[in-house]
A = this chain, B = another copy of it.
Amino acid sequence: MKLYEIGAPNPRRVRIFLSEKNADIECSTVDVMAGENRSADFLAKNSLGLLPVLELDDGTCIAESVAICRFLEAQYPEPPLLGVGPLQQAIVEMWNRRVELGLFRSTADYFQHTIPFFKERIVQIPAYAETAKASARNHLDWLNGALADRKFLAGDDYTIADITAQVALDLGTPSVFAVEPRHEHLSRWFAEVSARPSASVLGKS
């Protein structure tokens, strides 16, 4: 197995997932600045040109971070990060999606519509960046409330939902939002996940 990656939030989700499993697989950096992800070789691995991609030994490629994590969960079952049993698996998926489609997406949208890297890649709309920032801040408040009555997002155990939220917080701080004293539960949780050894992989942005 080989993981194609870049130093970016989505590959970082997979690297934290692997670190929590104590799984060591080959990783290869793709030079996006040089357009390597748009080469014929890479497009044969992922026709959307996006990263990360997991290539299996027989050449089969899996794209999309969460799909990769689902495959890795079966290869490295311990500790479970996608829940155990149908109900808990659904609850973990619910929390992961709430964070991914809310805080993570809004934070990423803000950067896509403001930073130079994306200037020639998408139509940047400053007004949209501002709504994305406002949305991310609202989701941060919501996340604080969600953590009021439990240790981790989906319950007593650390899961992929915590990884997605953690990566979003690292990405958005301080350009998009700040965890403030009023975010009492979020602060407690963020300090805890940030102290895990897995938090140091692949930088923080």
Q: Please give the residue numbers on chain A whose beta carbons come within 8 Å of chain B beta carbons, in ascending order.
A: 47-48, 56, 60, 62-64, 66-68, 70-71, 73-75, 86-87, 89-91, 93-94, 97-98, 102, 122-123, 125, 127-128, 131, 142, 145-146
Contact = CB atoms under 8 A, between A and B. Distances in A.
Main secondary structure, interface of A, reads helix
Contact of A90 (B71, B94, B122, B125): B71
A86 B74 contact: yes
Contacts of A64: 93-94, 97-98
A107 B92 CA distance: 27
29 contacts: A47-B142, A47-B145, A48-B98, A48-B102, A48-B142, A60-B87, A62-B90, A62-B91, A62-B94, A63-B98, A64-B93, A64-B97, A64-B98, A67-B90, A67-B91, A68-B90, A70-B89, A70-B93, A71-B86, A71-B90, A73-B86, A74-B86, A74-B89, A75-B86, A123-B127, A125-B125, A125-B127, A127-B127, A128-B128
